[in-house]
Structure 1
Amino acid sequence: MKTKLLYLLLLLPLTIFAQQRELLNGRVISDTMKVEYVSIKNLSSSASVVSDADGKFRINTRVGDTLRVSGISFSDAVVKVTNENFKEGLIVIRLVGNITMLDEVVVSGLTGNLAYDSKHARIVETPAEKFDVHQINKDLYIKSVAGNGRGMDFLAIGRMVSGPPKRVTPPKQVFITDKVFAVAVRELYSDKYFVESLKIRKEDITLFLAYCDEGESVRYLLNPNNEFQLISYLSTKSEQYLKTKQ
């Protein structure tokens, strides 16, 4: 009996040690586009991290844990951590980009002869006065000369429409919407992101964003420079929200 007890006491530290999680380096890659600021969650421990601009990350894990990688432009990937990953000191996860299929486009009035069509195609010019720069910028505080960080430079649009402005030295600022947090985030991301990446039902998106809206304390996340923090915040809040629905 004493021998068995001693044997169990000797095995206990080894069992505890085997259950401990360690930091594992990781890299997220894609064959079609650059991977940056995606969310990596350990489904076995609920730990979450966000990759850097090169897709690199570090996460506490152990052999057998399951990792889920989510990104706005990618399909979710779920992988299991293996002994080989710890031997190599690295886990590489490959993502597949989401492909948006357009509806059928019917083009009429062309002959199929590229030389002829290029010369005779009709181009309709739109008068510049139809564009209202103030209307375009009505929901934005212009606090940057670099654009809003999401693909459109409203100052450049203004220069094209109304000509170059007077030579002034603008302050280094950023675009910040004056809309409330929940409304701004709802307009920023598609239903597909909430449903597929965050697992929020389409009919619950509005309630979920109201749950996430903590007033002024989270408005800094609307700064385009903090978008990867916003994604991480939404991922964490979605886990908490889904627990309240159980």
Structure 2
Amino acid sequence: MLNGKVISDTPKLEAIYVINKTAATSTATQRGGYFTIAAQPQDTLVLSSSVFNPKTVVLTEKDFTEDLYFVSMEPMDILLEELVIVDYSYINSEALGLVPAGQKRYTPAERRVATAASWKMNPLGLDPLFNAISGRTTMLKNAAENDKKVTLMDNVSLLYSTEDITAQLKVPAEYVRGFLFYAVENKYFVKLMEANDIEKAKFTLAALAEKYNKLLAEE
């Protein structure tokens, strides 16, 4: 067994996937970046997370002589493709016809007090309404869900290369990416991956590949 710890500039180090690609086993880091995984010299470990750049290491005899094996990881740079600033100042309760024109308007501090006091001064829940108008809530939910799916796809790719999926699961090379999208939509498969149950995940992936290939044949 290998006892290890991820180190980085960021304090949040839990839930990082640690995959032994050689032995086809995996685990996830606990609070503080600590992990334990079955491994031996010459095994290849792959560490992956949605907030860190992937890291691949090949273990040596020396790595097993210390109490802890340290792995440094670099936080992922997240670049925004576009920043759009939209002026919603013209949208207010009067313009929307929610309150009579000229009704007293409350300061932000007053509204916060009202919110804490069971919405007595904000019975219509205007903040959620404005979120719905701007689409911000939906956008954030979709972004989080897509990020989760991309991370899962990356983790599947660590277990199976494109060549493996084509040779072992019989998925045509040009449809491999589509198959990965198809797989991460399956809730049972996602639960197995999140639980690091690699063996069951592989069986499920094989079954999904069979269904996917049938769908391709029907087109």
Q: TM-score, normalised by structure 1?
A: 0.48
The 2-side partners of 1:192 and 1:130 are apart by 41
**Counterpart check, 1:88 vs 2:73:** no
CA shift at 1:98, angstroms? 1.6
CA shift at 1:58, angstroms? 0.9
Superposed CA offset, 1:162-204 (max 9, x none) = 722549xxxxxxxxxxxxxxxx999624253234333295423
The 1-side partners of 2:199 and 2:46 are apart by 13
Superposed CA offset, 1:59-109 (max 9, x none) = 1111111111111111211111111111113211111222121235599xx
**Counterpart check, 1:73 vs 2:42:** no
Unaligned runs of 5+ residues in structure 1 are 1-22, 108-121, 132-158, 168-183, 222-228
Unaligned runs of 5+ residues in structure 2 are 97-110, 120-140, 161-175, 211-219
CA shift at 1:130, angstroms? 9.3
Superposition CA RMSD, Å: 4.2
The residue that corresponds to 1:207 in the other structure is 182
The amino acid across from 2:155 in the alignment is S
* Contact 1:76/1:197 (<8 A) preserved: no
The 1-side partners of 2:90 and 2:204 are apart by 50
Candidates 85, 89, 96, aligned match of 1:124 = 89
**Are the structure 2 counterparts of residues 192 and 87 from structure 1 closer, same or farther at C-alpha, using a change threshold of 3 Å?**
same
Q: TM-score, normalised by structure 2?
A: 0.53
The 2-side partners of 1:54 and 1:235 are apart by 24
Candidates 126, 141, 150, aligned match of 1:192 = 150
The residue that corresponds to 1:172 in the other structure is none
Larger Rg over CA atoms: 1
* Contact 1:212/1:237 (<8 A) preserved: no
Aligned residues: 155
Identity %: 22
Candidates 190, 194, 197, aligned match of 1:231 = 194
The amino acid across from 1:209 in the alignment is V
